[in-house]
């Protein structure tokens, strides 16, 4: 199973903040992609209308998941494919391993799949002595480096070309170069033989369509098309929420996915998979399997406060504008889903208390909601998660964090409702604020338990005179 390290968010974020190369790479990437996305959306005659239409389609699909998934499965079964509904990561991994063992699979080529990362499929296959090769260039790089992806669509965004050049020289045995064209050619040469030797291809699923009974994969390198047509067996893995009811809905979502991901009207390669190769077809696998993963999604679906997060189409537009992600990158989040969407999804999947720092670490600036092609209210859900941490929640098994903080705000609420006590408290605070160190107008270090407020900034001292008193003088 994939290793979850969300408990280390604070430490990992601290390390990332001191990594100058990471900051430069993320800043450059965010600037380029967010501009390209904005330009792409501005080229549409009715971008806002399209986004609202897509949002309605996603919500309808989420509310009718059981019917749509059955319809998708029936169509794939009728074409000779196989469908497996996995309740959790263990069942999904076991199904893939059993299929590989039954068919004597020794080598696997994979297209980029966040769900496969979520269930730790690579590690499980390797433990079963099955070679796994990631074929997306970014995924190939991080696999060689022994790292997890750090971005949903740009898994190696944290690496410089110099680092990639050294990595390829060490792992692929080629002379060092930091020329992107030469590095891309080296990756292509290394991957070509893997495609020809592979027994099995594995891919994710960007979207599925219940009406047609197909899943859709998109890439700009053609690697998923190679992985889904050359090997004799193909397994596609999808989260249960990645489905559209009608082809019309699917096409709208596909357009928004490509625009949100890379500012493109359409990705370079779009493949539609719905079963094994038919007798009149030259390409395609002899066996086609679709694994539909729950792994906690049913629980999210049942909660009206968080159901909306299942509408996410994983375009990563929210990551590309997030000031927090832009400073710390994806590895700090300690889970496959990072950035704003990960700060909601990860606590719901692995435990709110366990991943509390993810939702507490976001700024709530709202940029993610504005950038999301579907206007998913990520800040609203972050606030609801924080509320559960403050008050506890039996339904989600959340234990109250920081009881003292809750007591403080309860007292504060009572204080601001009593003008006399509030004025008295301000007078006392104006006197006590002389004690902490700082300049005439600022405090540079507050005592415990307020010390974290001044770890990275100074705060203004209170004015000696209350506003009410000054207001009377002005009048």
pLDDT at 112: 85
How far apart (Å, rounded) are the C-alpha atoms in residues 222 and 171? 23
User: Exposed, middle or buried, 8 (CB in 10 Å: 0-12/13-18/19+)?
Assistant: middle
CB atoms within 10 A of CB 52: 13
pLDDT 10s digits, 277-316:
999 998 899 999 999 999 999 999 999 999 999 999 999 9
Same domain, 55 and 195: yes
pLDDT at 137: 94
pLDDT at 2: 66
Segment holding 82, helix H or strand E: strand 82-86
- Axis crossing angle, helix 403-416 with helix 378-391, rounded to the nearest 10: 100
pLDDT at 56: 96
Looking at 256, 276, 295, the residue that finishes a domain is 295
Q: Which domain holds residue 423?
A: 403-474
Looking at 295, 322, 344, the residue that finishes a domain is 295
419 three-state secondary structure: helix
pLDDT at 1: 59
How far apart (Å, rounded) are the C-alpha atoms in residues 272 and 52? 25
pLDDT at 469: 80
Residue 29 lies in a domain: no
Residue 33 lies in a domain: no
Residue 337 lies in a domain: no
- Which residue ranges of the chain lie beneath pLDDT 50? none
DSSP 8-state code for residue 211: T
Contact (CB, 8 A) for 383 and 364: yes
Residues 6+ apart with CB under 8 A from 134: 110, 112, 122, 140, 142, 143
Predicted TM-score of the model (pTM): 0.90
Give the residue among 201, 109, 114 at the shortest CA–CA distance from 149: 114
Residue 339 lies in a domain: no
What CATH number corresponds to the domain at position 230? 3.40.50.10420
Residue 357 lies in a domain: no
Same domain, 180 and 56: yes
Beta-strand pair 107-110/200-203: parallel
Looking at 295, 325, 344, the residue that finishes a domain is 295
pLDDT at 184: 95
Residue 327 lies in a domain: no
Specify the number of domains making up the chain: 2
Residue 335 lies in a domain: no
Residue 381 lies in a domain: no
């Amino acid at each position: 199973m994939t290793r979850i390290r969300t408990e280390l968010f604070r430490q990992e974020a601290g390390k990332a903040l001191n990594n100058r190369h990471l900051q430069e790479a993320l800043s450059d990437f965010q600037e380029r992609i967010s501009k390209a996305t904005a330009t792409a959306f501005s080229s549409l005659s009715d971008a806002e209308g399209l986004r609202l239409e897509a949002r309605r389609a996603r919500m309808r699909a989420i509310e009718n998941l059981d019917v749509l998934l059955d319809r998708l499965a029936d169509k794939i079964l009728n074409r000779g494919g196989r469908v497996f509904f996995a309740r959790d990561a263990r069942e999904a991994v076991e199904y893939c391993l059993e299929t590989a063992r039954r068919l004597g699979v020794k080598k696997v080529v994979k297209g980029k799949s966040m769900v496969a990362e979520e269930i730790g499929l690579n590690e499980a296959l390797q433990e079963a002595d099955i070679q796994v090769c990631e074929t997306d260039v970014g995924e190939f790089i991080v696999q060689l480096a022994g790292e997890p992806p750090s971005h949903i669509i740009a898994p190696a965004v944290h690496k410089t070309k110099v680092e990639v050049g050294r990595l390829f020289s060490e792992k692929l045995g080629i002379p060092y170069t930091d020329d992107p064209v030469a590095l891309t050619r080296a990756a292509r040469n290394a991957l070509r033989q893997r495609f020809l030797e592979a027994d099995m291809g594995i891919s994710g699923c960007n979207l599925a369509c219940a009406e047609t009974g197909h899943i859709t994969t998109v890439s700009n390198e053609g690697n998923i098309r190679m992985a889904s047509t050359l090997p004799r067996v193909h397994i596609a893995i999808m989260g249960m929420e990645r489905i559209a009811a009608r082809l019309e809905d699917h096409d709208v979502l596909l357009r928004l996915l490509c625009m949100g991901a890379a500012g493109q009207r359409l990705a370079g390669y779009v493949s539609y998979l719905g079963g094994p190769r038919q007798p009149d077809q030259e390409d395609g696998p002899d066996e086609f399997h679709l694994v539909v993963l729950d792994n906690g999604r049913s629980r999210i679906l049942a909660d009206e406060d968080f159901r909306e997060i299942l509408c996410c189409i994983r375009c990563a537009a929210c990551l590309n504008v997030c000031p927090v992600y832009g400073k710390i990158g994806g590895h700090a989040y300690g889970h496959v889903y990072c950035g704003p969407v990960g700060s909601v999804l990860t606590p719901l999947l692995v435990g709110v208390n366990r991943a509390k720092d993810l939702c507490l670490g976001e700024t709530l600036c709202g940029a993610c909601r504005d950038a999301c092609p579907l206007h998913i209210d990520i800040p609203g859900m972050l606030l609801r998660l924080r509320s559960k941490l403050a008050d506890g929640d039996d339904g989600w098994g959340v234990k109250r964090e920081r009881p003292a903080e809750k007591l403080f705000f309860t007292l504060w609420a009572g204080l601001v409702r009593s003008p006399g006590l509030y004025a008295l408290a301000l007078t006392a605070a104006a006197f006590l604020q002389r004690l902490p160190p700082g300049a005439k107008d600022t405090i540079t270090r507050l005592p415990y338990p307020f010390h974290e407020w001044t770890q990275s900034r100074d705060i203004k001292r209170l004015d000696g005179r209350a506003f009410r008193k000054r207001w009377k003088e002005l009048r």
